[in-house]
Amino acid sequence: MSVQGPQRRLLGSLNSTPPATPRLRPPTNQTGPQCLEVSVPDGLFLGLGLVSVLENVLVVAAIAKNRNLHSPMYYFICCLAVSDLLVSVSNVLEMAVVQQLDDAIDVLVRGAMVSSLCFLGAIAVDR
């Protein structure tokens, strides 16, 4: 039985290989699901860093100046403000000045954040 006209084209298209389909898996050098990239302006980080520096300096100055705040709990709060001040200063420096020292600043940020958590734990134990 021979195949005529439109039937031959239909069978020919069924037997042909499909065109290349896009890959649904990530490339071999990436693992896990792909994330959307959100761009946040550098000025926003710089502004938040400067506000954080200012408020932490005010906390340290208030505790140092006021004699009524010289108790162990307020010393812990002062240490927490100093470690937060380190994080803020390192973020401001990273955004404003030294993009080349990214790894060193990241180590400083991580260390200051760990010390912040330690001081928060000490404040919780003191309370």
What is the mean pLDDT for each group of 10 consecutive residues in the chain (127 residues)? 55 54 54 71 80 91 92 87 84 72 74 81 80
**Residue 37 carries which DSSP code?**
-
Tokens matching residue 119: 């001081």
Question: Shortest CA distance to 77 belongs to which of 51, 108, 56?
Answer: 56
pTM here is 0.56
